[in-house]
C-alpha cells in the first residue's frame, strides 16, 4: 500500500487531525511508520494516551486495503493533504481535512470559487437572487460552491448547471449518501460539471452535528461567501462565521426588513459584511476578471519588462505585495500599479489582503 492508505487511516482515527499528523510525520518520517508504531513510540512522538488508544483501536477495526477497495467500488477518488491536487484555499484553513472524498473533478478551474448559501425555506425572491448571482458568477469564470441543501443551495447549483458552469457541492454525510434524497439527480449532474466532496467516510449518515463541520469546508473552498437569505438561526450564518475566521470575505444580499429571511443578511451587514446586490459587487471586490476578456487583453497587451520581472517572482502560492517589492526592488506604489495592470491582462490574481498569485 502507498502512503495514501495511511493518510486515510489517520483520517479515520478520532481526535487526530492535521497538527498531530504533521508531528507524526516529522517524528517517524512517514505515516506508514507512524501507523505501525507501538504505543511507547507514539507517546514519544507526542501523542497523548487517548489519541494513542484511538489509533490502536482504529488499526484493529479498519483494514486499509479493504477500505480503499470499497471507496474505489463507489467510483470515489480521495485527495490527501499531501497531494498537489488538494485545493489550495482549503489547505490554508485551520485544521484542514486530512482526506477529501471526491466524485467528479477538482482542479485549477476551481481556483476562483465563491460560495452561495442560504436558508432551506427560500422565498421566490431568494431563489431568484441565488439564480442571478450564480449565473453571473459562472459567466465570469467563477466556480460556485454550496451545500446541496433545499432552498438557496439547490437553486444556486441548478443555476450554474443551466448556465453551463462549474459547481462544487459539499456534503454533510458520506459521499455514498445523497441528502436530501430528492437532489439525487442534481448531485449526479454536478459530478459531470464539477464535483461533490466531503470529509466524512462512506456510510456516514446526514446527522445534524455534521453540517456545521461541513460548512467550514464550503467557506474554506471559497474566496468569499454570499449569504442570500437566512433567518437569525441558520446554518448559512455558521458558514459566514467560518468564512470570517478563515479570512474570507462575507457578502450579504439585502432584502425586505419585514422578511424573516432577511434577518440574517441584515445582521451580517450591521456586523460589517459587504453588500452584494449583484455579482459585480463580488467580482469587483475580489478583483476577479472575466477570463475571456482577460485572454483578449493579454494578447493585445504583452507584458513589459517590469511586468515580466514581477511575473517571474510569482507562482501559485500567494505572496504579499511587500514580499514582492522586496524581491523585485520596486517601490510599492509602482508595484501596485503594475499588479493592477497584470490583473486586467489576466496574468495575475489578487486572492485577498494584498496577496497575489500568477493566474
Go through the domains of the chain in sequence order and give each one's CATH number.
Answer: 1-73 (1.10.150), 108-285 (3.40.50.450), 291-358 (1.10.10.10)
Nearest Cα to Cα of residue 221 among 349, 318, 77, 112: 112
Lowest mean pLDDT segment, chosen from 151-155, 236-240, 300-304, 338-342:
300-304
* pLDDT at residue 358, rounded to an integer: 81
Residue 184 has pLDDT above 80, yes or no: yes
Local confidence band at 295 (pLDDT 50, 70, 90 cut-offs):
very low
Q: How far apart are CA 326 and CA 194, in angstroms?
A: 39
Q: How confident is the model at residue 290 (pLDDT cuts 50, 70, 90)?
A: low
Q: Cell triple for residue 137? A: 458568477
pLDDT above 70 (res 28): yes
Structure confidence at residue 289 as a pLDDT band (50, 70, 90) = low
Nearest-CA neighbor of 148 among 122, 174, 167?
Answer: 167
pLDDT digits (tens, 9 = 90+) for 220-276: 999 999 999 999 888 999 999 999 999 999 999 999 988 999 999 999 999 999 999
Residues above pLDDT 70, as percent of the chain: 95
Rounded average pLDDT over 285-293: 69
Position 303 pLDDT exceeds 70: no
pLDDT at 345 over 60: yes
d(C-alpha 310, C-alpha 19), whole Å: 34
Tell me the Cα Rg of the chain.
22
How far apart CA 265 and CA 279 sit, in angstroms, is 16
Q: Judge whether residue 18 has pLDDT over 50.
A: yes
pLDDT grade, residue 292 (50/70/90)? very low
What is the reported pTM? 0.80
Amino acid at each position: 500500500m502507498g502512503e495514501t492508505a495511511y493518510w486515510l487511516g489517520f483520517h479515520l482515527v478520532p481526535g487526530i487531525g492535521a497538527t498531530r499528523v504533521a508531528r507524526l510525520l516529522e517524528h517517524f518520517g512517514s505515516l506508514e511508520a507512524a501507523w505501525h508504531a507501538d504505543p511507547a513510540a507514539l507517546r514519544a512522538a507526542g501523542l497523548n494516551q487517548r489519541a494513542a488508544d484511538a489509533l490502536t483501536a482504529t488499526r484493529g477495526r479498519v483494514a486499509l486495503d479493504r477500505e480503499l477497495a470499497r471507496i474505489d467500488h463507489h467510483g470515489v477518488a480521495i485527495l490527501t493533504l499531501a497531494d498537489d491536487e488538494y485545493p489550495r484555499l482549503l489547505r490554508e484553513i485551520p485544521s484542514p481535512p486530512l482526506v477529501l472524498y471526491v466524485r467528479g473533478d477538482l482542479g485549477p478551474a476551481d481556483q476562483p470559487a465563491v460560495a452561495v448559501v442560504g436558508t432551506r425555506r427560500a422565498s421566490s425572491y431568494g431563489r431568484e437572487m441565488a439564480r442571478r448571482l450564480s449565473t453571473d458568477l459562472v459567466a465570469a469564470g467563477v466556480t460556485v460552491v454550496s451545500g446541496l441543501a433545499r432552498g438557496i443551495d439547490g437553486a444556486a447549483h441548478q443555476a450554474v448547471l443551466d448556465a453551463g458552469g462549474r459547481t462544487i457541492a459539499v456534503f454533510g454525510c458520506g459521499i455514498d449518501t445523497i441528502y436530501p434524497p430528492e437532489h439525487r439527480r442534481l448531485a449526479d449532474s454536478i459530478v459531470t460539471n464539477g464535483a461533490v466532496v466531503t470529509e466524512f467516510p462512506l456510510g456516514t449518515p446526514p446527522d445534524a452535528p455534521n453540517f456545521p463541520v461541513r460548512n467550514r469546508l464550503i467557506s474554506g473552498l471559497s474566496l468569499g461567501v454570499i449569504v442570500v437569505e437566512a433567518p437569525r438561526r441558520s446554518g448559512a450564518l455558521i458558514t459566514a462565521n467560518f468564512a470570517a475566521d478563515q479570512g474570507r470575505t462575507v457578502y450579504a444580499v439585502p432584502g425586505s426588513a419585514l422578511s424573516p429571511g432577511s434577518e440574517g443578511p441584515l445582521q451580517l451587514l450591521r456586523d460589517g459584511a459587504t453588500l452584494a446586490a449583484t455579482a459585480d459587487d463580488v467580482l469587483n471586490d475580489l478583483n476577479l476578471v472575466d477570463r475571456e476578456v482577460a485572454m483578449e487583453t493579454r494578447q493585445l497587451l504583452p507584458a513589459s519588462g517590469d511586468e515580466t520581472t514581477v511575473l517571474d517572482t510569482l507562482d501559485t502560492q500567494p505572496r504579499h505585495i511587500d514580499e514582492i517589492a522586496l524581491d523585485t526592488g520596486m517601490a510599492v506604489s509602482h508595484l501596485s500599479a503594475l499588479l493592477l495592470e497584470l490583473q486586467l491582462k489576466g496574468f495575475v490574481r489578487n486572492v485577498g489582503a494584498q496577496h497575489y498569485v500568477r493566474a
